[in-house]
Amino acid sequence: MFLSTHALAGIIISQHFTNVPVALGLGVLSHYILDMIPHGDERLGAWVKEKFIRRFALTFLTDLGFLALFVYTVHVTGDWPLPNVALAAIVGAVLPDLIWAVYDAYRVLLIKHFPRATKIIQDVTRLESFFNHHERLHRWFHAYIEKRLTFKVGLAVQVILAGGLLYLSVHP
């Protein structure tokens, strides 16, 4: 699911809670719940990796643009939450995907190019174990409803979902 959709769920959470740790935790929880909805972008990562620089920039800037639009819309028309609570909820809502992206970079860059460093990092931090557990958990939520969607149908699902979340954010 696109980060902007997850972030929008975080904004909604922050409109109803004033406690930063609660907003952060509920943001993370919302991420996993939203990922249970089939959303058709499972192959997007492989598509981006084919021409990484151009496609990553395209997807990232598009996502960032939608997030900016959502934040602006909520700010202008809705009930804007406390900034620190909103930030905590948004960070929590996108954190699982950010962890996954860091793990991808870790595997591709560090393990591939510096295998000895990987052993040292694992011995000192148990980082590999954390990443493996997180990836299994994240994949479990993604596969909870075993329905594969095409990218176009998944995009439509995400647009409808984002529209509904945007509506809820401006009508808390």
Q: Give a yes or no: residue 112 inside a domain.
A: no
pLDDT band at 3 (very low <50, low <70, confident <90, very high): confident
Q: Is residue 127 part of a domain?
A: no
d(CA 120, CA 116): 7
> Would 104 be classed as within a structural domain?
no
Q: What is the mean pLDDT of residues 142-162?
A: 78
Residue 121: inside a domain? no
In a domain, 86, yes or no: yes
Is residue 126, in this structure, part of any structural domain at all?
A: no
34 CB neighbour count, 10 Å cutoff: 19
Q: Per mean pLDDT, which of 33-37, 77-81, 89-93, 141-145 is the most reliable?
A: 89-93
Predicted local confidence at residue 46, as pLDDT? 63
Number of neighbouring beta carbons within 10 Å of residue 94: 24
- The pLDDT tens digits for 95-130 are 998 888 777 777 667 777 777 776 766 666 666 777
**152: domain range?**
3-94+145-170
The answer to which of 40-49, 52-61, 148-157 has the lowest mean pLDDT is: 40-49
Q: How far is CA 36 from the centre of its chain?
A: 13
Q: What is the pLDDT of residues 15-32, one digit of tens each?
A: 999 999 999 999 999 999
Number of domain units in the chain: 1
Residue 116 lies in a domain: no
Q: Identify whether 129 is part of a domain.
A: no
Q: What is the pTM of this model?
A: 0.78
